[in-house]
A = this chain, B = another copy of it.
C-alpha cells in the first residue's frame, strides 16, 4: 500500500527538474499549477486547480492549467481520474501501473497495487480469445479516516 503523501514535499522540485530536462521552460504559471497538484492528496479537476493556483498567482489563466496538465500527463507525472458521472480530474501519479481507490466523502485518493489481477486477466483472455492490452480498475468507497469520523460523530462531508 503506497500513500500519496509519500515525499510530497520533494515532488514539486522533481517535477520542475523533469520539465526542464524534457526541454520545457519553467514558468510561474507552471509552478503554480504544479504546486497545487503536487501537494494535493485529492484528485482535482481543471477548475479546482485553477482556483487554488490563482490564490498564489492571480494572473494565471485557465488555458495554462490545461496546457500544463497536458505536459505533466505526457511525462507521466500525473494521472487522469475518471469519475462515474464522466467528469475528469487529475492526481499526482507514481511510476508503474497503479490503481486508484477514491473516497466518496473526502475525495482523497489512494493507490493500490493490482498485481493480483493477472490471473483474472489470463483467465478471461483464454476463455474469450481477447488479447488484453490494458486494464482499468478503480475502487470507490469510504476511506478509513472518514469511516472513523462518521462513527465518532464528526462528519467532514464536503458540501460540493
Task: Give A residues with C-beta under 8 Å from B.
Answer: 1, 80, 82, 84, 86, 88, 101, 103-104, 110, 112, 114, 116-117, 119-121, 123-125, 127-144, 147
Contacts and interface: CB of A to CB of B under 8 A. Distances in A.
Contacts of A134: 84, 139-141
Contacts of A103: 130
A121 to B, nearest CB: 7
A141 B136 contact: no
Contacts of A139: 121, 124, 130, 132, 134-136
Contact of A101 (B84, B117, B123, B130): B130
Given A86-B82, A130-B103, A141-B130, A112 B124 contact: yes
Contact of A142 (B130, B140, B144): B130
A55 B136 CA distance: 35
A132 B140 contact: yes
